[in-house]
Amino acid sequence: MQRYKLGWTVGYTRDPSEPPERFVAASVPGAAQLDWANAEGWPDYWRGENCMQFESMESVYWVYESKISKPELADGQRLYFVCEGVDYQFLIRLNKKTLHGQEGMFTPCSFDITDDVTDGDTLQIVVFPHPDSGDYSNGRCEAKESVKPPCSYGWDWHPRLIPSGIWKNAFLETRSAQHIVDLQFDYMLEENLSQARIDLAIELSETMSGSLEWSLSDPNGDVVDAHSVSLESQQIVDITSDIFDPMLWWPNQQGEQNLYTLALSLHGADGMVQDRKSKRVGFRRVQLVMNEGAWDERTSLPTSRNVPPMTIEINGRRIFSKGSNWVPPEVFPGVIGEDTYRPLIEKARQANFNMLRCWGGGIVNKDSFFNLCDELGIMVWQEFPLACNQYVETPEYLDTLNSESRSIILRLKSHPSIVIWCGGNELFNSWSRMTDQHKALRLLNKNCYELDPDTPFLPTSPVMGVGHGDYLFRDADGVECFEKFQKARFSAYTEFGCPGPASVDYLERFIPDDELFPPKLGGSWETHHAFNAWDGHKSSWLCPEVIDHYFGKAESIEELVFYGQILQSEGYKAMFEEARRQKPYCSMALNWCYNEPWPTAANNSLISWPCEPKPAYEAVKQSCRPILASARAEKFSWTEEEWFEAELWMLNDSPEVIKCDTVEAYLQFADEEVFALAWDFEAIEPNSNSRGPTLRYKLPTFDAQVFKLVLRIEGKQDWQSEYTFCYKPLNPLMSD
Amino acid sequence: MQRYKLGWTVGYTRDPSEPPERFVAASVPGAAQLDWANAEGWPDYWRGENCMQFESMESVYWVYESKISKPELADGQRLYFVCEGVDYQFLIRLNKKTLHGQEGMFTPCSFDITDDVTDGDTLQIVVFPHPDSGDYSNGRCEAKESVKPPCSYGWDWHPRLIPSGIWKNAFLETRSAQHIVDLQFDYMLEENLSQARIDLAIELSETMSGSLEWSLSDPNGDVVDAHSVSLESQQIVDITSDIFDPMLWWPNQQGEQNLYTLALSLHGADGMVQDRKSKRVGFRRVQLVMNEGAWDERTSLPTSRNVPPMTIEINGRRIFSKGSNWVPPEVFPGVIGEDTYRPLIEKARQANFNMLRCWGGGIVNKDSFFNLCDELGIMVWQEFPLACNQYVETPEYLDTLNSESRSIILRLKSHPSIVIWCGGNELFNSWSRMTDQHKALRLLNKNCYELDPDTPFLPTSPVMGVGHGDYLFRDADGVECFEKFQKARFSAYTEFGCPGPASVDYLERFIPDDELFPPKLGGSWETHHAFNAWDGHKSSWLCPEVIDHYFGKAESIEELVFYGQILQSEGYKAMFEEARRQKPYCSMALNWCYNEPWPTAANNSLISWPCEPKPAYEAVKQSCRPILASARAEKFSWTEEEWFEAELWMLNDSPEVIKCDTVEAYLQFADEEVFALAWDFEAIEPNSNSRGPTLRYKLPTFDAQVFKLVLRIEGKQDWQSEYTFCYKPLNPLMSD
């Protein structure tokens, strides 16, 4: 088996019966619009308002062409054209004859072209205009009849910029006539986890005799199971085998990320190797189990149902899920590679995260994403590409969703990191108006059950008892996120946000100098989501009036960003830690959002595109430490002479016992630090919290806009915490 | 094709390796225990405490035997043994050789025994002891590893009496070698209902040539579509055809129950008829659509999902579902026939019902039930046989559930009356502890979606927003069902009960004379559910202390029953009418329960076994009239000189407009009637209510325990209503 790269050009036409007038060099994988922009010398789409230039390229047919140099084929060898993914609807043509037509970017295809191709022939891939339902009530509605990820039609953190083209590899490949077409790996763990019953299902290219050899190596590279199966006129091979005491895969901070390697070789009747395949796999049991206390909730009669389970249990151990919502890391998915994913996922691990929710408005990631999550212990909540729309129930839509979802499940199910399949984002809310009866969701549940029955399935997020929101530090009624979360009682918080501006040096890279300060509606700030980003919220996501409220009018971009970033950091700390304090009834804290597909001027994200952490990233990292001292203050802003109050907690998400110790609380006013309280806490069980006393301290008079609360534990630097609060004098001077 | 009845005997053994010592005559269909009891001359199981005698027959193997008289077979004819249902796990043996083993009572089987049988051979059906999970925490838990209907293990209205045996027909049948094995009828209605695309899938017994003729006749008997399809070496035949302007099927009081007849004949290559099949079908579109107002419910952030849809829409028209919960009409399902079902379903129609919820704790009914529901316009909410248990997730259980559920769906899906498939009863509540993640429910969703995608599926009842309960006129805190329902806000009330005693002459038939009055704990009253029937409710279902509370200590069985039945009647009226007043947000009112499997002394049922309506039946019938004047009083009991208050309403569930008119309200105190209020109401839209003024009247002094409110509309006898209330003097005399 050998791969041959193809050289591609691309051009566009508005009339599919006419060829493009001009072809330019194409990057594959990539995006047709980017190729065109490069050839035309367009400025970077991510600066200023340049992205708008791309709207002129909407609704065209992109035509890719490649001249084939036919490789020499050994006896019995076949030549395949393999196309791993085209975004979104396309035809594949060989010498203008159509080989294949497809709707959907997640289903790969390949063709034996040995007998149809001669040297110098032309392969064409014709990409249709992006899906357009004809409903323009909101950008995303244009995608409601398709499995096209809707975020590219415009979202509160994504420009309207709709990619098209060959977004995964497309190449020639020589294969033995006898080769492995498909390999499915399944396993069932014994209740006590001491044994795994492995099930391999192999499809061969043709009915053949010979043998199939396979081995399984453990994380140390030791072969733990190896067999040879003789084939007698078979095209389908089913193999079962038992592995004893498998080394289990665990999420980050719960144990090792043990991964095994499965290797297969296919031998013909003469014993010669015809094909090889290998696959990395892991063993773990995942369940969604009922949140502690949730069965005890019984209302008076008439009574409805209890809430659904939202606690992740891995290998029999309940795990508090900490992490964030993942969005596409690039506007053009074709440019995403392992190098895009790795720093982001490494930072997720470093942030003490154990889960990423791959949100349904974006693409389903490439394989390297899941490989990294397997390696780094990041559990993946994987949604299908549906978000915030009332998708149609036509046979055409359901057919595409069926084939795309089956491709996605079969491609990803053997990754131990996949712990939840989910139908999509916010489908059971009034802005989407889908319900449990919608055929799309019944179909997805069915496909997941058929193909991967041991992984939990959720129809959407939020389900009953799960919370989405809020996305503000301080809402229009003046309620702070501190209070909002403390009054909430949800089984899981799978989206909650706190906006913050990007750093100044970062803003300078894409906001033109003359627009930089003060930020204004319209122009680059608005294009980059600082204003009018969120329906009905003119000031989001920069929210300058909230910054003003606490710290007065900013005099410079530096001051604005400094205070805006404090709000984001302290807001996130308050919400992450409150969600953890609500454990065990609460079982998840996933903020909205982790990353972003292009530079935003202000956003709920923790990391600026492509991978530049904001101060809030560091704050969240602190709040997600497995063990920490935590303070529960009911608000952010305090006034001179007011009694400051904060309840002390020890939070423990780890599988370890914490020995008894002492938390000392100090307050820092300007340059002065005062001791406020000491709390001798008892030993704390694994995955349990301990609630301590409430610190009360009458705020003195000092000259600063903020003060700090510091919690120290002697010799336990890792567990110490620090919080910043806003301070208001009783009689503020009029600002000049 | 001809059927030959078989004669059966039955005996039992506790050791399956030993044959029964004795055989007695068996009725097929029937129940082995009943045959035995008959042969032994046991007294009626439904009188006194006789049912307890049957416990001695638990856990035995029942062996049925039949000697075969082999019919003469024409050339090419084959002989089949057909067994439509055996309760529950069984072997079929021919001359002691096992032909077949099966778990599950809902999957029929048949065997070509032509070449295996000679005259005088013996057929045996060995029925295993009833399923027993080994969990005896509650009778029903014994059924948690099986698809055996759990109610027979004991319920609050069902004795512990667990039937076994051949509960459907079992016979010999001659068939042409070429015959129709399976016929599936599906159709899709155009959005505007003007056209139905019919899809017939026919499986033949063997690959054959010849022809298949089929016709469809409309409700008038006119053939509206007829085709002949020639067969060329086929075993599977798929036929599609279009019917224009089909006469639609409607539920009771919404339109006609139009039914079509599909007739097929199979012809061999020589043109001779080999087989015939016919099927009655109907055309309707059913959807569960969002309840009016339910999308407008949006809580502050963080927010969860909106409630799921619970409004039945038939042929594009929203319909308020009125009806009741159906339980098995007999303890022994084998004795149920069309004559059991017909009077009950006719009474459901007469009660102005349009829906029965076939509750998951009982059997899935025989075909005649669904035929009657089709004819009489009763929509069926059909549950699979799961109730109030945490069913296991073993491969064995899931396999049985898979085959049983597929059999049920394929047997019933072409009945237009089937409007909801549901996983089972109260599975997502703390006493069952199943969740959305349970494989049984994911499997049922999958099977329903695969086999009958256009019929809604609910995982259980209640789902979010749907209410079950209460089941008392007055609860332990003194809260009446009047208040409880008026304070509730649910999208559907799919269970709510109000208990009442059976009538005196009825009680006399099964409660021994010496136990009749006063009713006492233990003995026949308790066996027949008057006491200790419901977990933790010692006085249910007779609730004598509630009757005492309103009317004082009863001096005779007649007095006790009279007042107990008033409470049941008035309680049901209050709840049914309140649910209707909460329309459109509320969309269903289904009381618990309609019927019962044996005589209960007191129960929430409307009809005593087998089909004797209680006074509450008449009361509910009044409250379910499509159009009526309705009074909303907040309580049942009023005191002398108190201001009586009742809000007047006009309720309209019909598809008709009500013209403006006048409701006159009168109060009746002992022999006096006073005019209290007149309400001139405006015209009322179809399927809409109108809320009127509140009547206020200071209660006078009179000598009676009750008074009445009568609502009259001149010339509209059908719309008039009457309510009874309890009256208490200010200074009651001490009772002597």
Pairing mode of beta strands A355-358, A379-383: parallel
pLDDT at A731 over 90: no
Residues of B in Cβ contact (< 8 Å) with A456: 437
Predicted pLDDT at B536? 83
B290–A453: do the CB atoms touch at under 8 Å?
no
- Rounded Cα distance, A594 and A606, in Å: 5
Residues sharing a CB contact under 8 Å with residue B736, sequence separation 6 or more, in sequence order: none
Residues of B in Cβ contact (< 8 Å) with A420: none
Q: Which of B309, B446, B468 sits opposite A435 (nearest CB)?
A: B309
CB contacts < 8 A (A, B): 147
pLDDT at A298 over 90: no
Question: Are A510 and A501 spatial neighbours (Cβ–Cβ below 8 Å)?
Answer: no
Report the greatest alpha carbon distance in chain A. Answer: 94
Q: What proportion of chain A, given as a percentage, has pLDDT over 90?
A: 97
Mean pLDDT for chain B?
Answer: 97
Predicted pLDDT at A734? 55
Which residues, in sequence order, are bridge partners of residue A100? A92
**Number of separate helices (H) and strands (E) present in chain A:** 11, 40
pLDDT one-digit tens code per residue, B432-449: 999 999 999 999 999 999
Collapse the DSSP code of A403 into the 3-class scheme (helix H, G, I; strand E, B; otherwise coil) and give the result: helix
Nearest CA in chain A to B188: A395
Q: Which of A449, A488, A493 sits opposite B442 (nearest CB)?
A: A449
pLDDT one-digit tens code per residue, B380-418: 999 999 999 999 999 999 999 999 999 999 999 999 999
The set of long-range contacts for A607-613, using a CB threshold of 8 Å and a minimum separation of 24, is A607/A344, A607/A347, A608/A502, A608/A503, A608/A506, A609/A46, A609/A329, A610/A329, A610/A330, A610/A340, A610/A344, A611/A329, A611/A343, A611/A344, A611/A347, A612/A503, A612/A506, A613/A347
Nearest CA in chain B to A435: B308
Collapse the DSSP code of B324 into the 3-class scheme (helix H, G, I; strand E, B; otherwise coil) and give the result: strand
Residue B534 burial (CB count, 10 A): 19
- Rounded Cα distance, A37 and A50, in Å: 11
Predicted pLDDT at B299? 75
Residues of A in Cβ contact (< 8 Å) with B399: none
Q: Which of A309, A436, A475 sits opposite B437 (nearest CB)?
A: A309
Q: Where are the alpha helices (DSSP H) in B294-452?
A: 338-350, 367-376, 395-412, 439-451
The mean pLDDT of A589-606, rounded to a whole number, is 98
Q: Where are the alpha helices (DSSP H) in B494-614?
A: 504-510, 523-527, 544-551, 557-581
pLDDT one-digit tens code per residue, A466-503: 999 999 999 999 999 999 999 999 999 999 999 999 99
B305–A429: do the CB atoms touch at under 8 Å?
yes
- Rounded Cα distance, B101 and B97, in Å: 11
Residue B607: band (very low, low, confident or very high) from pLDDT cuts 50, 70, 90: very high
- Rounded Cα distance, A536 and A554, in Å: 24
The mean pLDDT of A39-45, rounded to a whole number, is 97
Secondary element (H or E) of residue A405: helix A395-412
pLDDT one-digit tens code per residue, A111-132: 999 999 999 999 999 999 999 9
Q: Which of A437, A467, A471 sits opposite B309 (nearest CB)?
A: A437
As a whole number of Å, the CA-based R_g of chain B is: 28
Residue with tokens 């891939």: A125
pLDDT at A208 over 80: yes
B301–A465: do the CB atoms touch at under 8 Å?
no
pLDDT one-digit tens code per residue, B36-62: 999 999 999 999 999 999 999 999 999
Mean pLDDT for chain A?
Answer: 97
pLDDT one-digit tens code per residue, B119-137: 999 999 999 999 999 999 9
Q: Which of B572, B601, B611, B603 is nearest to B589 (CA)?
A: B572
- Rounded Cα distance, B308 and B312, in Å: 12
pLDDT one-digit tens code per residue, A341-360: 999 999 999 999 999 999 99
ipTM of the complex: 0.97
Nearest CA in chain A to B295: A430
The token pair at B183 is: 């016929």
Secondary element (H or E) of residue B239: strand B223-244
* DSSP E strand boundaries for A408-549: 418-422, 457-458, 466-468, 492-495, 500-501
B305–A460: do the CB atoms touch at under 8 Å?
yes
Collapse the DSSP code of A441 into the 3-class scheme (helix H, G, I; strand E, B; otherwise coil) and give the result: helix
Residue A188 burial (CB count, 10 A): 14
pLDDT at B298 over 80: no
Predicted pLDDT at A300? 86
Predicted pLDDT at A538? 94
> Closest approach of chain A CAs to the CA of B473, in angstroms?
12
Residues of B in Cβ contact (< 8 Å) with A439: 449, 453
Q: What is the DSSP string of B246-258?
A: PPPB--TTTS-B-
Q: Which of A189, A178, A190, A215 is nearest to A200 (CA)?
A: A215
pLDDT one-digit tens code per residue, A660-710: 999 999 999 998 999 999 999 999 999 999 999 999 999 999 999 999 999
Question: Are A480 and A638 spatial neighbours (Cβ–Cβ below 8 Å)?
Answer: no
> Closest approach of chain B CAs to the CA of A298, in angstroms?
8
Q: Which of B296, B466, B475 sits opposite A304 (nearest CB)?
A: B466
> Closest approach of chain B CAs to the CA of A290, in angstroms?
8
More confident residue, A731 or A202: A202
Predicted pLDDT at A736? 43
Which residues, in sequence order, are bridge partners of residue A663? A679
Residue B539 burial (CB count, 10 A): 19
Q: What is the DSSP string of B681-705?
A: EPPB-TT--EEEEEEEEE----S-S
The mean pLDDT of B527-542, rounded to a whole number, is 95
pLDDT one-digit tens code per residue, B471-509: 999 999 999 999 999 999 999 999 999 999 999 999 999
> Which domains does chain A possess?
2-175 (2.60.120.260), 178-285 (2.60.40.10), 627-728 (2.60.40.730)
Q: Which of A353, A346, A343, A350 is nearest to A381 (CA)?
A: A353
pLDDT at A178 over 80: yes
* Distances A385 to A102, A382, A440 between C-alpha atoms, Å: 17, 10, 11
- Rounded Cα distance, A635 and A481, in Å: 8
- Rounded Cα distance, B489 and A63, in Å: 58
Q: What is the DSSP string of A277-291?
A: EEEEE----EEEEPP
Which residues, in sequence order, are bridge partners of residue A493? A467, A589
Residue A203: band (very low, low, confident or very high) from pLDDT cuts 50, 70, 90: very high
Which residues, in sequence order, are bridge partners of residue B421? B382, B457
- Cis previous bond, B251, omega within 30: no
B437–A287: do the CB atoms touch at under 8 Å?
yes
Residue B734: band (very low, low, confident or very high) from pLDDT cuts 50, 70, 90: low
B290–A435: do the CB atoms touch at under 8 Å?
yes
pTM above 0.90, yes or no: yes
pLDDT at B656 over 50: yes
* Distances A112 to A81, A123, A177, B26, B368 between C-alpha atoms, Å: 7, 13, 10, 66, 56
Q: What is the DSSP string of A6-17?
A: --EEEEEESSTT
